[in-house]
Amino acid sequence: MDLTSTYTLSNGVKIPVVGFGTWQTPDGDIAESSVKAAIDAGYRHIDTAEMYGNEKSVGHGIKASGVDRDSLFVTSKLNNNSHTYEEAAVALDKSLSDLGLDHLDLFLIHWPNPAPYRNDDWEKHLQETWRAMEDAYKAGKVRAIGVSNFYQHHLQVLEKTQTITPMVNQIHLCPGDHNDELVDYCRERGILLEAYSPFGTGKIFTDPTLQKLADETGHTIAQVCLRWSLQHKYLPLPKSVHAERIEENTHAFDFELNDEQMKKIDDLVGVAGYGGNPDEVNF
């Protein structure tokens, strides 16, 4: 397994097993240079979102890499102000324009119940938004569609009207925060789990259990976290703006954790913080 290895989505599309995340990456030169550095280091999967405010710079980084578009897998996400059919269609076109691309490989609903639509009609808004995603997929604007930050009850809302099951659910998955019931629910439906913030918050790098495992394996805590994610068949999205760290994270493929080491990580609780409740976050 390496950066060119892939999972197969439910529609047969191949997706690289690790993606380069750009959440909290500043727009401008930093976003452009970090994306180019990631592609130079071998990443072929780039993840961004309209809400990140850096799609144009991510697109510039992709172009500056010189790598053929068909060799890359690019993901973006629907912004929270576009949860109607018409608004979702417009938002996708804007993301494509900002990225400088004629299609996306994966497009996700970023949040299931965003604050601007959190009312008695939120289920209808969500279903109409998903219908727009399905139509974009059928029109060839996107090669795959999915969701992000969805719990079981959000997926159940889609199940009432969907004609296509989401192919991906991108959620907060890291040592100390892994919702096993949600993971099982998605896997039963053929939904791939992507792990945004696979390192959680910064305090994960001071956890004594993870430090001990890093020492045992001769790797960094970040590499141990990525290896744990891969061995659970999640798709982690590590983020960095430093070229040396970007390259360093690619070495998560160089070793394996044994069953005992995996269990030690599985048993951690809260060491990396928790993802926000999508029904309560104020955006």
Catalytic residue IDs: 52
Cα 60 to Cα 46: distance, rounded to the nearest angstrom: 12
| CA 200, chain centre distance (Å) | 13
Going by C-alpha positions, the residue among 99, 115, 181, 133 that lies closest to residue 11 is: 133
Cα 123 to Cα 186: distance, rounded to the nearest angstrom: 19
Would you give the DSSP letter of residue 142?
A: B
Using an 8 Å Cβ cutoff, are 133 and 109 in contact? yes
Burial letters for 107-118: b for 16+ Cβ neighbours within 10 Å, e otherwise?
Answer: bbbbbbbbeebe
Cα 157 to Cα 225: distance, rounded to the nearest angstrom: 32
Which residues on neighbouring strands pair with residue 171, listed in sequence order? Answer: 195
Going by C-alpha positions, the residue among 97, 161, 103 that lies closest to residue 129 is: 161
Helices (H), the chain: 29-40, 55-65, 85-99, 122-138, 152-159, 180-188, 208-217, 221-231, 243-249, 259-266
End-to-end Cα distance, the chain: 37
